[in-house]
A and B are shown apart, each in its own frame.
Chain A
Amino acid sequence: MNPLLSAAPAIVAAGVEVFSAAVRAQGASVTDVDWRPPGFGAAADLAQLALDRRRAAANRTAVERLLAAGSHLVDVRPAREVLDLGDRMLLHSGPPLTWETASGPMRGALIGACLFEGWASSVEDAERVLAAGEITLDSCHHHRAVGPMAGVTSPSMWMWCLTDPVHGGQAFCNLNEGLGKVLRMGAFNDEVLTRLAWMRDVLGPLLQQAVRSRPEPLDVKAVLAQMLQMGDEGHNRNRAGSLMTLRELSPAIVAVDAPSADIAAALAFIGGNEHFFLNLGMPSAKLALDAARDVPGSTMVTVMSRNGTEFGIQTAGTGDRWFTGPANTPVGLFLGDYGPDDANPDIGDSAIMETYGIGGFAMAAAPAIVRFVGGTVPDALATTERMYQLTLAENPAMQIPILGFRGSPTGIDVLQVARTGWLPQINTGMAGRVAGTGQVGAGLVQPPQQCFEQALTALAEESRAAG
């Protein structure tokens, strides 16, 4: 029997108030939808997608793959060995860009990488070879890699190598340099280059031996799940995750055949870097989202990323196509006497954490983060509550204690973004807009609406073409 006819129904009403009022007057249970016209998107496109008979199943498939994906740390190797890097090629965060369109911190990081690789002898020399196009630039995302902030990855950098034991995917990310004057924030002074050289010559080989010597690979997804319950959201706060990683790796690190001074330096470096884990969290999210790629009819977002100039997204239904718009500048808090004028527009592949459903989406798990915009704990909870309305699923592995261990909102739906008019919430660091500055603060940012507008149009076109 149709359950509708079994008892007085609970009513959910969207639209004219007079109807819900009439039902309420009869004593029935009524929930009013806070409906308003879609934030963007042609009505015909929204209807096309709402009625696409493939959509529900396609989104279910994409979400199931995302949720099922695992993440094992299996190796640490130089980028040139694991990435498909051409001669004199640098990877960067976000959608593709050129030297001409690169922002200050991106240019700073590219200059630093040329110096680090010995492709240039001075800053001026580096600028010249980059401007002359002698260095090929490409997106990290085109190489199964992700890079925080500028995300500049050069052949000599050591990479975390992660695999998805469920789908067999691979993902890569370089090692986190710490805070302040660091390449990923666009700094390239001697301190930066000296640290990169030490990471190349000491830290990388040491981590390789340690990771390879473990009897079992480190389950990075399990660390992510635990850190959410310890006050991290996995993007702007990685404190618990970094400490857990140190705890997991330290027995193997101290057993490495290396000078004890090097081991001590490595442990001190890891222990002193609260964002050390971020570079493991990001490729874990990348593995899950790559598993959800290429599902025709799915309106789920698989990439959100920024290069300091543009914000770009990709969806499961549209393959490798980028939908881009000008990057917004984060709002937040600044280090020292830096201020809003010093901040570069949004930059980095780290929005992969929000794409995966943590970071800004799990704001409620890390209420400290909401203070970046002067918010309160209720604001943090409200942010996560809003994100549930943009997403397709709740990730049972990524639980938020204060919400009754509800799973984090996961799988951004382009259609829901358009209908609600709410944009994804992203927690992020802020790089100085002048090349060489480094980090100036951290805060909150949203993608430009254009990305989602373009994606919606393209998904609707694809849907029509599929009949």
Chain B
Amino acid sequence: MTPTHVSLRSGVYADSVRLMQVSREIGARDGVSAVLVAMATPLNLELAAGMGLAPDGGAQPDQLLIALRATDDAELTAAVAAVEAALTAREDRGSAQAIPARTVGAALADAADPALAIVSVPGQYAVAEAADAIAAGRSVLVFSDGVPVEHEVALKRAAHEAGVLVMGPDCGTAIVSGVALGFANVVRRGPVGLVAASGTGAQQVSCLLDAAGVGVSHVLGVGGRDLSTAVGGLATLDALAALDEDPATERVLLVSKPPAPEVAERVQQAAAQLSTPVRSAALSPESPDLTAAVEALLGDLGVAVPEWPARPGAADAVPPGAVLKGFYSGGTLADEAMLIAAPALGDVRSNTPLRPELDLDTGQGTDLRATGHVVVDFGDDALTVGRAHPMIDPTLRLEAIAALAQSGEPAVLLLDVVLGHGADPDPAAALAPALQAAGLPVVVALVGTEADPQGWSRQADALAEAGAAVYASNAQATRYALDLIGEHA
């Protein structure tokens, strides 16, 4: 017969859950075959009786019943002692464990005002996070690519109604009250507000202004598609209105890739109604380039146009019959280069072409080895699938440079290198040896400021040492490349 222990104890009370927990703990001991530690209520006495462990009469509900069956006396004694220990054990009181927010909505619920959400989750899921921000009455920068255009339109309509801004998608640049978000440069603060449907365009413009000693109030990147027919400038109009009401903003510069004409017109009309003067730097064959637009704005402000920083390079190694190969990480800078080059060179083929028939897309991907005048935007969505943006990951562009050198096609290589927050911490480190190895004449548009983490001069010197001509202005860089080709045509 296995030994049993049945006892009643007065003056002890524990919560039934606590007692069930103790029962389970003791029941898990190897030598224990049955256990009930519970207040001696009628129900529990019945359970004990069912287990053959009923106390001898006289049990009261306010008494603690300890009933055990064990394999031998030693185990029984140990088990009774274990009950005692379990009943007197102290629990970890601890403090509330912080539960991190799983959604933008949950995180914004505790955020101080003004708050801004940055969303860089996969594009198909970005809409829910962005919608959270709008629902919370907060603006949002959507950095994600691959956001369907109908989602962008729906978000921007909702944002307009809620009186907040949707920045992006597909334009990861903003500076809000001095805080740089996504890809952005360290520029001084000042009176110029930028509305940019173009990330690198905004970086080019803000860096040139900085070089001229003029600061920005805010840079609001509205997304590369905002001035398309589908989106209709929804965020541009709201951003213009917001800057118009901002006392720190005295001038507004609107920067974009070539916009849809009817949208450009609508935006122009809206801009004309504002009390803050708005100048457009929207690229088109008829418009000035970004550098010229900045120079015109400096004129508006009565600021002298400086000599833009540059490191002129050697121009002798250009072979006869050289073509232009523009390998860009910034889509707007690529567009600007094509707009400047086309009148001089004729057709330029591209993965983001000025005219559809010039498309490099073969239907099975982009033909990076096409001959003739070519400008490639390595930041285009089709080339960033499964990899980071070329401003962070230079692999694809370095491969293309090596392939160009191998091909033997006479060429002038035109590149952009974009500095600032979010970008490669030392782009020249990878690029300089690649340029030296390629042995091609190279012109670089180096977009950045001295205050950027990478430092404009430090990067410019390294690139110049590798044989590149370096310009802070993409327009100047492009024209210099054209000069090189023209002289050797």
Contacts and interface: CB of A to CB of B under 8 A. Distances in A.
A35 B102 contact: yes
B100 interface: yes
Given A8-B177, A9-B179, A13-B117, A376 B92 contact: yes
Interface of A is mostly: mixed
Contact of A415 (B18, B111, B128): B128
A11 B155 CA distance: 19
Interface in A11-46: 11-16, 18-20, 22-23, 25-26, 28-29, 31-38, 43, 46
Given A4-B164, A14-B120, A377-B94, A9 B101 contact: no
Contacts of B154: 51
B122 interface: yes
A336 B51 contact: yes
B57 interface: no
Contacts of B47: 180, 335-336
A144 interface: no
A11 B179 contact: yes
Contacts of A31: 101, 107, 110-111
Nearest to B23: A333
B116 A374 contact: no
Interface residues of A, number: 71
Interface in A120-177: none
A369 B178 contact: no
Interface stretch (A220-228, A253-261, A318-326, A380-388): A380-388
Contact of B177 (A5, A53, A336): A5
A30 to B, nearest CB: 9
A422 B449 CA distance: 46
A466 interface: no
Contacts of B107: 12, 14, 31, 33
Nearest to A18: B422
B176 interface: yes
B46 to A, nearest CB: 7
A9 B104 contact: no
Contacts of A379: 97
B102 A13 contact: no
Contact of B91 (A10, A38, A377): A377
B151 A382 contact: no
B218 interface: yes
A179 B45 CA distance: 13
B103 A420 contact: yes
B48 A34 contact: no
A1 B422 contact: no
Contact of A19 (B99, B108, B143, B242): B143
A337 B217 CA distance: 72
B187 to A, nearest CB: 12
A51 B177 contact: no
Interface in B100-148: 100-108, 110-122, 124-125, 127-129, 131, 133, 135, 138-139, 143-144, 148
Contacts of A467: none
In this complex, the member of B101, B144, B172, B421 whose beta carbon has the largest number of chain A beta carbons within 10 angstroms is B101
Contacts of B73: none
Contacts of A12: 101, 104, 107-108, 111, 115-118, 133, 138
Interface in A350-393: 368-369, 371-372, 374, 376-379, 381-382, 385-386, 388-389
A46 B128 contact: yes
Given A10-B114, A11-B115, A381 B181 contact: no
B486 interface: no
Given A4-B176, A22-B421, A23-B179, A33 B101 contact: yes
A23 B422 CA distance: 9
Interface in B215-252: 217-218, 242-243, 245-248
A1 B179 contact: no
Given A1-B242, A14-B104, A333-B17, 8 more contacts: A6-B114, A11-B118, A14-B119, A19-B118, A34-B101, A36-B102, A51-B151, A389-B103
Identify the 6 closest CB pairs spanning chains A and B, nearest first. A15-B120, A34-B100, A333-B20, A378-B94, A336-B47, A50-B128
Interface of B: 15, 17-18, 20-21, 23-24, 27, 34-36, 43, 46-48, 50-51, 91-108, 110-122, 124-125, 127-129, 131, 133, 135, 138-139, 143-144, 148, 151, 154-155, 158, 163-165, 172, 176-182, 217-218, 242-243, 245-248, 392, 421-422
